[in-house]
Structure 1
Amino acid sequence: MEEVLSLSGKNRDELEKVLDYYNGSQDDSLKLRAAKYLIKNMPGKYSLVYDVPWENHSAALYRYFDCENKESLFSEYGIPEPEKRYDLECISADYLINNIELAFEAWESHPWGKTIDFASFCEEILPYRIGNEPLEDWRGKVLASYREIDNRLRADSCMTAGQACAIVNRLLPEYSWVTYPVPPMNYSMLTATPRGTCDEMCALAMFTMRALGIPVVMDFTPSWPNRTSGHAWNSVNIGDGMYVSFMGTEYNPGEEHLGTRLRKCKVFRRTFARQDIDTVEIPSILNDPYIIDVSDKYRDTDNTATVRIDFPQDEKALYLYTFEKPFPEIIDRGIVNGSFATFEHVGGEIMYLPVYIDGGEILPASFPFMINRGKTVSFDGDLENKVKVEIDNLGLNQSMLFRMQEGSFEASNDSVFGRKVVLHEIEDIPGDSTYTEIPIASKAAYKYVRYMSPKGSSCNVAEIEFYNADGGQLTGNVIGTAGSWYSSGMTKEKVFDGDIYTYFDAPFGFQDYSWVGLKFDVPQVIGSIRYFPRIEDNRLVNDHRYEVFYWTGDDWQVILNQKPVNGKIVADLPEKGIYYIRDAKNNKESYQYFIIDNSRQKWL
């Protein structure tokens, strides 16, 4: 404690006031421990403060996506570089005492509080901040806004933390999910500007629920397979060391959400307390002292793999590297036992590479491997064991697939859909290689059907097919939002042209809730719907030369260099190899690696 106080400079008196406040009474012994917990873990924590009204920043955020010159946008609104204000140097005694008092009152006055131990309380209810947001009395603001709900939660003696979490989560404002970075926001900013990444959605849930005594944390995966970013979601402590995940502002505990549906290599949990860590000499998620590994708490990241290794004996540390093309990363340490290494609590169907570090360089310690249905499969690239493979896909980045998630199909007998029924809501990000087909339960007949796109998606869909109950494809007049993105020609008619490489891209100003559909001559019963998302054109061009790269065990080398015939390259390649392909003419290469499965490309 003395070491921390010595770092606070002129603000030491404020911190000592907090300790003195709780030091005089036996009744306050737990609160004194809580105060010490907050202060001991305060070093390194700070607020990012912009010396400009939040309204300016909020307005800039709404324009950010569509603005070509983003630097001038911030200048237009007078937004300067943020100032770092370290908590140790500026936090007040009154602020900390108020935070502690309100946290304890929330913990002790709700019926589920008795199932939450003191250690969980300190980490999941007590903290006065979530990230690097400007400090404010967020607990008081939440209590004022949710007073009636809070009274109901307190009055129900059978109410659990999970039930309370679901009730409150349904009341949070709907958020527009964006992929660009936003500044750290406090509770007031989050409620005033319901637009952000998954981190902001999680933060709003944490502020609100912690103020109401609901122990909620943020879990995350550092990167999806073959994507340039990760994802965060929430978990609620339901007692006895058990947690149930949910997505703040969207999906309740126990419901499926993006964090449970997609493959992931690891799951970590953000903490307020600083963890003791062994740092890695290169940038890695393992260098973050404010996370713990909770992969064993998730069914799809609780696999174990043991592989043979070969690396210098003087190297003590062996790491697990996600062998992914767009965003490889060291995510774990291995347990070395002679010539074998074991990696615990990792996700399946993802390619990994055991590595060590020498002079800041990442070097392979074994062949790549993946876990397939609980079994470890090694890809040794044996040149003597070849199979014939057909290559017909360049594997470019399919960055627009997510734009159909949360879209819906609707039907009506009213041309303006004043009275409508929802036939289907899209929960998952669709695949990029096959149509998604969904059966429709409704037996009513409708004259109008449409796809209603989610916010910010510009109605990006490549193909939609409607079928009657007998399986016959339905046709009609194309209806929907008129025009295309800056007159690109990608109008609503492209959705029904039979070409998966064309798509609808709604005009500027119609990014939110644009739509496309059909008007039938007579009402029809919809038996099923098939759809295909907007994708990049991955077809091979006959007069282009393509290079196929192959992992030799320690480097990439060209194993094939030729032009396709009828859009395909047929060749004999190592069955247990890992590959990517490059269009030498256009200098484009696949966004991900592929392996060979039944003589076809299988993208990882």
Structure 2
Amino acid sequence: MKTFTRLVSVFLLTAVGYLFFLSCSGREKNVPAVSILEAALQQAGENRVELEKVLFRYQIDPTDSLKYRAACFLIENMPYYTYYKGKQLDRYFTYYALLQETRGLGISPQVVADSVRHMYGPLYLDSLQSYRDIETVDSAYLCNNIDWSFKVWQEQPWGKHVSFADFCEYLLPYRIGDETLASWRESIYQKYNPLLDSLRASEVLDKEDPIVAARCLLDSIRKGGAVFTTAVPASLPHVGPEVVQQKTGSCRELTDFVVYVCRALGIPCAIDFMPIRGDENDSHQWVAFTDKYGTLYYHEFPNGVSEVRKDAMCGMPKIKVYRNTFSLNRAMQEEMQKLDTAVIPLFKDPHIVDITFPYTKNFKKELQIPKDALYKGKPRSRIAYLCASKRMDWEPVAWTEFDGKNIVFTDIQKGPVMRVATYERGRLRFWTDPFEINVSNEFHFFTPSDSVQDVTLFAKYTLRADDMFLNRMIGGTFEGSNDPDFREKEVLYLINEKPKRLQTVVQSYSSKPYRYVRYVGPKESHCNIAEVAFYTPNDTASLKGKVMGTPGCFQKDGSHEYTNVFDGDVTTSFDYIESSGGWAGLDLGIPKQIEKIVYTPRSYDNYIRSGDKYELFYCTGNKWSSLGKQLSEADSLTYKNVPRNVLLLLKNYSHGVQERVFICEDEKQNWK
């Protein structure tokens, strides 16, 4: 069977499993037999006696030899973990319970986060007490973790296809990151193990396949849904096994929840992540599994489990994907320390391995930067970083050795915008203009051209996330009637394409006067729409009337009712409780002729808004240069004399924080 370890080793020689065997079993020649283990014990200080109790306990009985090796694995990697404690941290963790309590009440997560911050004051990690695992983990805690890990590994039928190396890396660890230490295995086991009784009793399902167990478990626990948000009251460490049971928070908290539950039940899993998504400004993580044949699967709570190569995840824009490991990637650490002492946090004491290949279709084994594209100068660092775009910043996501002339990165997904930099004196020093690589392996550098163009902008951020709402408007109709029940009606306009801007203006098909007018959402659209305005031939102001419609919203909290369609606010919208049959309209009092209709799609509020203050920037060399500020007078902005072949970024100083680099070509904004 191909295992997690075998899959990773194809792409990168790592510390996973390999270094474990260096320290606890047969070692390479000239390597002291206890070098790694002894070095860890020396760092334990007064806590050394506790750790030696664990080693001694499992040395007594020969049948515990695997447990002894497991203890070695944990202790050797323990020096690299730290956690925090403090009353202020506990107070801030109530945020996740509050998210669950306010669910369905129309209170946004950001409001909850602001309330926590206002109630308890600011939180700074450096004001909390910090503790090192190696100095604090006692023998009882460690033995309990080891014994329970072995119990579930050996008693569950799917454990048959879990190797010892995979067990150490993906079942055995007592923690995920920097969460406060807690005993969690037994309580989670008792709570969730009964959910797999039917699988263990099944004569049909392959109970020996870990992915079958993972699917059965996650199909059961995901039914209650989750509260997903990226809003946080402060920069927090991992929240720990108890808090994640709320099933609220970002992908980090939801991923941690799944990992705790799966590992408590003997289902090996890892956390894979991209440091920056290729077309957005945020990192993203998920849970990874392999079946008994070594096929890679992934899971984003509360969705189902999908095979990576057959899912959209494989084509999602990204440059690098890494896997979090409990063990330190000593090979990477030693190589980077040999090249430079100043290393960015992602690669300093790295608990990661590269697993980009199985997550990408447009893969490039070697990315050699053209020599003539490099800026002139001499680097102070021998490490070059490949960086991804993040608003006006650049985030290092890969590294290689750099001698000032040759730069070759390995295992890269093509497509996203990238840039090469070194890390010197606490900041990035760039060595190329931004560039992208197409499917034909051709470089395109975004170097400002001498020619200019006029551009018209309709959004400040990619509308990719809005596509569902935009597509739901295709087939929507505006109707007029003189019957309040619309038993006799006429179609005033049929939407036959996705809206391209905040406000779309269309002409009515009919010149007949109607007292009742409405928008009817197409099937399976939940009647998603933000605003509608009707105009007569002689009026410059939209018509007013008594609001009518189908009551009930999908959220069941009154936040997305039909009345939002006529409240004049483009940030509110209708989301009918049923997928079909929803509508929203006006009783005008007397029949009136409708000449034009202006409608606004439901969105995430990234369109250009009238009255907002904007500033457009373009990337040139080591800086972003301004093309001027504007106060928008409509749902678009026009800038003149914009250099061609440049990355652009539009800031809104009035509303919202989302912004993303783009280019303008063929009179369109193309997001990068």
Same fold (TM > 0.5): yes
- Show the counterpart of 2:239: 185
Counterpart pick for 1:592 among 630, 639, 660: 660
Unaligned runs of 5+ in 2: 1-36, 100-108, 475-497, 504-519, 534-546, 587-599
Higher helix share: 2
Partners of 1:564 and 1:53 in 2: CA distance: 43
Within a 5 Å distance, the mapping from 1:477-556 to structure 2 comes to 477-480=548-551, 492-495=562-565, 502-504=570-572, 517-518=582-583, 532-538=602-608, 549-556=617-624
Give secondary structure in 1 for the equivalent of 2:305.
Answer: coil
Which of 188, 211, 215 is residue 142 of structure 1 equivalent to?
Answer: 188
Indicate yes or no: 2:135 matched with 1:101.
Answer: no
Q: How big is each residue's C-alpha offset from its partner over 1:51-72, in whole Å with a ceiling of 9 and x where there is no partner?
A: 5997995367516732545334
1:580 and 2:625 are equivalent in the alignment: no
Instruction: Find the counterpart in structure 1 of residue 269 from structure 2.
Output: 216
Task: After superposition, give the CA deviation of every residue in 1:531-580 in whole Å (9 maximum; x if it has no partner).
Answer: 541324426889x9x87544333444457899999956475655432233
Match of 2:431 among 361, 365, 368: 365
SS in 2 for 1:323: strand
The answer for the alignment partner of 2:457 in structure 1 is: 392
Distance 1:331 1:551, change over 3 A: same
**Which AA in structure 2 matches 1:42?**
M
In structure 1, the partner of 2:296 is 243
What is aligned with 1:289?
Answer: 350
Q: Distance in 1 between matches of 2:284 and 2:500?
A: 20
Report whether the alignment pairs 1:175 with 2:243: no
Name the CA shift for 1:334/1:263 in 2 (closer, same or farther; >3 Å).
same
Answer yes or no: is the 8 Å Cα contact 1:282–1:360 preserved in 2: no
Aligned-partner Cα distance in 2 for 1:87–1:145? 27
Q: In the TM superposition, what are the counterparts of 1:47-446 in structure 2 within 5 Å? A: 47-51=83-87, 57-58=93-94, 61-62=97-98, 65-67=110-112, 68-74=114-120, 82-154=128-200, 158-159=206-207, 160-172=209-221, 173-181=224-232, 184-191=238-245, 193-225=246-278, 227-239=280-292, 241-254=294-307, 262-276=316-330, 277=333, 278=336, 281=342, 283-287=344-348, 289-300=350-361, 302-303=363-364, 305-309=367-371, 310=374, 311-312=376-377, 315-334=381-400, 339-381=405-447, 383-384=449-450, 386=451, 388-393=453-458, 395=460
Question: SS of 1:41's equivalent?
Answer: helix
* 1:396-427 residue CA offsets vs partner (Å, 9 max, x unmatched): 6879959979x999xxxxxxxxxxxxxxxxxx
Whether the 8 Å CA contact 1:395–1:589 is kept in 2: the answer is: no
CA contact (8 A) 1:109 1:154 kept: no
Determine the C-alpha separation between the residues in 2 that align with 1:126 and 1:396: 42
Which structure has the larger Rg?
Answer: 2
In structure 2, the CA distance between the partners of 1:62 and 1:26, relative to structure 1 (3 Å rule), is: same
**How many angstroms does 1:21 deviate by?**
0.9
Alignment of 1:14-53 (within 5 A): 14-51=50-87
Output the amino acid matched with 1:479: T
Compute the displacement of 1:119 (Å): 1.4
Report how far residue 378 of structure 1 moved: 1.9
Percent identity over the alignment is: 22
Residue range with higher mean Cα deviation, 62-71 or 136-145 = 62-71
Is contact 1:317-1:356 (8 Å) kept? Answer: yes
Structure 1 gap segments, 5+ residues each:
410-429, 436-445, 454-458, 466-475, 522-529
Return closer, same or farther for 1:288/1:478 CA change in 2, 3 Å cut-off.
farther
SS at match of 1:391: strand
The AA in structure 2 aligned to 1:307 is I
Q: Rate the CA distance shift 1:284–1:347 in 2: closer, same or farther, 3 A.
A: farther
Per the TM alignment, residue 152 of structure 1 is displaced from its structure 2 partner at its CA by: 4.4
Root-mean-square deviation over aligned CA pairs: 4.9
State the AA in 2 paired with 1:127: P
Would you say the 8 A contact 1:492–1:504 is kept in 2? Answer: no
Is contact 2:344-2:423 (8 Å) kept? no
Q: Matches of 1:562 and 1:74 in 2, distance apart?
A: 39
Q: Which amino acid aligns with 2:184?
A: W
Write the letter of the residue equivalent to 1:198.
C
Alignment partners' CA distance in 1, 2:412 and 2:435: 12
Query: How far apart, in 1, do the equivalents of 2:162 and 2:62 lie?
Result: 22
1:126 deviation in Å? 0.8
Asked if 2 retains the 8 angstrom alpha-carbon contact of 1:302 and 1:344, the reply is no
- 1:335 Cα shift? 6.0
Distance in structure 2 (CA, Å) of the matches to 1:297 and 1:135: 33
Report if the CA contact (8 A) 1:477-1:520 is conserved: yes
For 1:298 and 1:390, the matched residues in 2 are separated by 36
1:424 matched to which residue of 2? none
Q: How far has the Cα of 1:262 moved from its partner?
A: 4.3
Once the two structures are TM-superposed, the CA of residue 227 in structure 1 deviates from its matched residue by 4.2
Instruction: Report the residue type matching 1:323 in the other structure.
Output: S
Q: Structure 1 residues 69, 169: closer, same or farther in 2, change over 3 A?
A: closer
Q: 1:85 to 1:324 in 2, by over 3 A?
A: closer
Distance change in 2, residues 1:118/1:447 (3 Å) = closer
Structure 1 residue corresponding to 2:669, chosen from 597, 601, 604: 601
Deviation at 1:118, TM superposition (A): 1.7
Q: Residues of 2 paired with 1:152 and 1:204: CA distance?
A: 22
- Return the alpha-carbon distance in structure 1 between the equivalents of residues 81 and 179 of structure 2: 10
The question of whether the paired residues in 1 share the 8 Å contact of 2:646 and 2:663 is answered with yes
Q: Distance in 2 between matches of 1:22 and 1:431?
A: 67
State the distance in 2 between where 1:401 and 1:587 align.
18
User: How many residues align structurally?
Assistant: 532
Q: Secondary structure at the match of 2:298?
A: strand
